[in-house]
Every structure is written in C-alpha cells, then in structure tokens.
Amino acid sequence: MKNYLMTYKKDFIIIAAFAIFAATYNFYTPAFGSTVLSNFESAFFEMIAFIPLMFILIGLFEVWVPRELIERHIGTESGARGSVWVILLAMLQVGPLYGAFPVAFLLWRKGASTRNIFIYLGAFTTMKIPMLSFEIGFLGWRFSLMRTLLSLPVFIIIAVIMEKLFERDFEIYEINKGK
Amino acid sequence: MEELLFLTLIFLLLSFVFNKRKTLLGVKMGLKMFMNLLPPFVTVLIILSFVLALLPGELLEKLLGADSGITGFFIAAGLGSVALIPGFISYPLAAVLLKNGVSYPVISVFITTLMMVGIVTLPIEKNFFGWRVAIIRNVLSFIGALIIGACMALIWGLL
C-alpha cells in the first residue's frame, strides 16, 4: 500500500488538490467549478465500471494465451510466413512501445529478418489485442476495424523501407536489458 | 456495457471450469493492472476536465473537428508524438475528445502517433537501434499516421 502511494505520488497529490477544489469551488468560482466537476463526473462514472471488467478480460487473456507456441516459429520461418508469426506474437502483447525493443532484440538474435523486426514493432504499436479491446469499447467497432486495416499496410511498407535502407548494417544492441 | 459484462462473465466461467488457479491468477493480474492504471487515469481526467472548461466550446471543434483539415491533423500528430500517455488511458481520453467535437480521422492520427511515434522515448529507442534507425523509423511512422488519417477522412466521409 505504501509502495503504491509512493509510486503514484504525483497523481495522488493532484487528486487530493482536486478533491479540495471540488469541496471549495463554490466559494470563489462556482460557475467554472461546476463545469469542471460535471466534465469530470460524466467521464469518470461512465468509465469506472467499464475498465475493471476489461482488465479482468486482459488478465485472463494473459494467463491463457500460448505465447511460447508462437515464439517457436519466430526466425525459423522467413518471408511472408515469418511476418504472419511476428504479427501474431505482437498482437498477444501488452505494454508500451519501449517494452517492445527488448523483444525486437531477441527476435533479431533468433534470426528474424530486418523486415520482420519492423513488422513486429508496427503490429506491436497498432494491433495488440488487449489494446484493441479498449479501442472497440471506447471508440466503437467501425473505427477500430478501419484504423487497424489501414495501419497494417502502412507499417508493412515502413518495414520494407527500413529493410531497404538498413539491411546490410542492421544491428540491435543489448542495452537497457533487465530494466 | 451489458455486452462487456456478459462477455467477461462467460470467459470467467469458462476459464474457471478449465483451471481454477489460472483463473484466479488472471483476475489478480487484471485487477493489479487496473490499480496501476487508476491514479494516472484519474489525473488525466482531472486535467482534461479543466482544459475542457477553460477552452471555449467551439475552439476544440474548430481546431480538431471534421472541418479542421490539415491543421487539425498536424496538431493531433504533434501532440501524439510528444505525449507519453499509456494506451489504456489514451482511449478513454479519445472518447471524451470525440464527445467534445473532435473528428474520428483526427483521433486516428492522434492515436496512431501516440502509439507509433515517441519523441520522449527516442533516447531509449536509440540505445537499441542507434540514432539513424530510430529517427527514420519515427519519421516514417509520423508520415504513416498522417496517411492513415487522410484515408480515414476519405472513407469516413463515404460511410
């Protein structure tokens, strides 16, 4: 608990300040304050019931997904087939982009092509299933499907360009490991 | 909302039938992720509530709405490239922006740059790939996000 408070110290200070504002705004800025509060309430209560359910789904997803099964195929299959495997692997991940770099390093060491490494990064950023579930929940099927379908060719083209540019001297360094 | 509740219950039940321990572990992991998201999530909502109250109602729509054109795209791409917002927070944030007049194509540019372009995390990326690769990947992703937004605007108009 203490750890939790410390990790999010900045956030809790802001939340505490906001609570004080919510309790006192009536005395100095009633009109502005009530706009702020109604903005906050409408967003907060709409989402707070929704988000824990999504995270339970993501947690179940985390324990059931057979990542090792897919990892076995990486590097051993080249070309388009290899691309499909790295996209699948990327779709099963959770987390921010910088979390993908160490995985990219491992893929590179396992012999994945330059193109497939950048396809992995592209799919990691735009097609992670836990992220898509959030996207569908908040922005709707239509938006999510369209954005994903448009992203796919874009990051594949980026990967092809990166391969053309860097194929001969491409290298990933193993720094920041274990961070 | 009801669909999500329904879906979660079904998966929970199925998972529980197959493996009790795994299910508990998954629920625990999910709730832990939720607890870790909660403080920054509330902070973002607080800041957003103030920003929305301070901005005149039509300004957001003018800058980032359906008729904002290229300017809207570049503002969204710029913000998305610099901001360091976890994905799980970016979607609720985007939903609030949509309600306040921001258009879907502009949101797609914002979200795509947020995910694919990272100016702040560039030093980390450099450690793995070197400056040249890192910078070119980010520049290409920035352009890619604008293209995705442009296609989105075209198709969204047709639907």
pLDDT of residue A77: 75
Q: Least CB-CB distance to B26: which of A18, A63, A172?
A: A63
Tokens 């258009």, residue located: B103
Number of domains in chain A: 2
Question: Are residues B80 and B150 located together in one domain of the fold?
Answer: yes
Question: Are residues A28 and A108 located together in one domain of the fold?
Answer: no
Mean pLDDT score, B10-33? 93
Which of the four pLDDT bands, split at 50, 70 and 90, describes residue A178? Answer: very low
Which of the four pLDDT bands, split at 50, 70 and 90, describes residue B42? Answer: very high
Touching check for A64 and chain B: CB below 8 Å? yes
Question: Are residues A39 and A72 located together in one domain of the fold?
Answer: no
Q: What percent of chain B lies above the pLDDT cut of 70? A: 99
Question: Are residues A33 and A90 located together in one domain of the fold?
Answer: no
Mean pLDDT score, B62-66? 87
Q: Is residue A11 part of a domain?
A: yes
Q: Least CB-CB distance to B115: which of A35, A44, A125?
A: A125
pLDDT of residue A115: 92
Cβ neighbours of B5 in A, within 8 Å:
53
Question: Are residues A98 and A135 located together in one domain of the fold?
Answer: yes
In chain B, which residue's Cα lies nearest the Cα of A32?
A: B53
Minimal CA separation from A77 to chain B, in Å: 23
**Average of per-residue pLDDT values in chain A:** 88
Residue B62 sits at the vertex; the CA angle it makes with B77 and A149, to the nearest 5 degrees, is: 40
pLDDT of residue B108: 96
Question: Are residues B45 and B90 located together in one domain of the fold?
Answer: no
Kindly tell me if the per-residue pLDDT of A169 is higher than 90: no
Residues forming beta bridges with residue A77, ordered by sequence position: A74
Dist. CA B54–CA B65, nearest whole Å? 18
Is residue B60 within 8 A of residue B49, CB to CB? The reply is no
The DSSP result for B94-134, as a single string, is HHHHHHTT--HHHHHHHHHHHHH--STTHHHHHHHH-HHHH
Q: Is residue A53 part of a domain?
A: no
Structural domain boundaries enclosing B44? 1-54
B113-143 residue pLDDT tens: 999 998 988 988 898 899 999 999 999 999 9
- What Cα–Cα distance (Å) separates residue A132 from each residue in A32, A66, A90, A146, B115? 36, 19, 12, 12, 12
Q: Is residue A29 part of a domain?
A: yes
Final residue of a structural domain among B13, B31, B54: B54
pLDDT of residue A175: 62
Q: What percent of chain A lies above the pLDDT cut of 90? A: 51
Q: Is residue A177 part of a domain?
A: no
pLDDT of residue B1: 67
**Between residues B157 and B53, which one has the greater pLDDT?**
B53
Cβ neighbours of A155 in B, within 8 Å:
116, 141, 144
Question: Are residues B35 and B84 located together in one domain of the fold?
Answer: no
Cβ neighbours of B43 in A, within 8 Å:
10-11, 14-15
Which of B129, B124, B119 is closest to A104 using CA atoms? Answer: B129
The DSSP result for B14-76, as a single string, is HHHHH-HHHHHHHHHHHHHHHHHHHHHHHHHHHHHHHHHHHS-HHHHHHHHSTT-HHHHHHHH
Minimal CA separation from A1 to chain B, in Å: 11
Question: Are residues A82 and A24 located together in one domain of the fold?
Answer: no
**Between residues B1 and A157, which one has the greater pLDDT?**
A157
Question: Are residues A62 and A30 located together in one domain of the fold?
Answer: no
pLDDT of residue A74: 77
The DSSP result for chain A, as a single string, is -HHHHHHTHHHHHHHHHHHHHHHHHHHH-HHHHHHHHHHHHHHHHHHHTHHHHHHHHHHHHHHH--HHHHHTTBTTB-HHHHHHHHHHHHHT--S-GGGHHHHHHHHHHTT--HHHHHHHHHHHHH--HHHHHHHHHHH-HHHHHHHHHHHHHHHHHHHHHHHHHHTTT------STT-
pLDDT of residue B29: 92
pLDDT of residue A144: 95
Q: Least CB-CB distance to B95: which of A96, A131, A139?
A: A139
Question: Are residues B99 and B116 located together in one domain of the fold?
Answer: yes
**Between residues B87 and A21, which one has the greater pLDDT?**
A21
Question: Are residues B107 and B124 located together in one domain of the fold?
Answer: yes
Are B115 and A154 in contact (CB < 8 Å)? no
Are A142 and B98 in contact (CB < 8 Å)? no
Question: Are residues B43 and B82 located together in one domain of the fold?
Answer: no
pLDDT of residue B2: 75
Q: Using only the alpha carbons of chain A, give its radius of gyration.
A: 22
Q: Is B20 buried (19+), middle (13-18) or exposed (0-12) by CB count in 10 A?
A: exposed
Dist. CA B156–CA B159, nearest whole Å? 5
Mean pLDDT score, A40-52? 87
pLDDT of residue B4: 82
A62-84 residue pLDDT tens: 888 887 778 777 777 777 888 99
Are B4 and A50 in contact (CB < 8 Å)? yes
Mean pLDDT score, A42-51? 86
Question: Are residues A34 and A108 located together in one domain of the fold?
Answer: no
Are A59 and B128 in contact (CB < 8 Å)? no
Dist. CA A96–CA A94, nearest whole Å? 7
Q: Least CB-CB distance to A150: which of B7, B37, B151?
A: B151
Dist. CA B107–CA B130, nearest whole Å? 31
Structural domain boundaries enclosing A13? 2-48
Cβ neighbours of B1 in A, within 8 Å:
49-50
Q: Least CB-CB distance to B43: which of A14, A101, A170?
A: A14
Number of domains in chain B: 2
Question: Are residues A106 and A157 located together in one domain of the fold?
Answer: yes
**Average of per-residue pLDDT values in chain B:** 90
B83-114 residue pLDDT tens: 888 888 899 999 999 988 899 999 999 999 99
Q: Is residue A176 part of a domain?
A: no
Is residue A93 within 8 A of residue A71, CB to CB? The reply is no
Kindly tell me if the per-residue pLDDT of A177 is higher than 60: no
A87-125 residue pLDDT tens: 999 998 887 777 888 888 888 888 888 999 999 999 999
Question: Are residues A69 and A155 located together in one domain of the fold?
Answer: yes
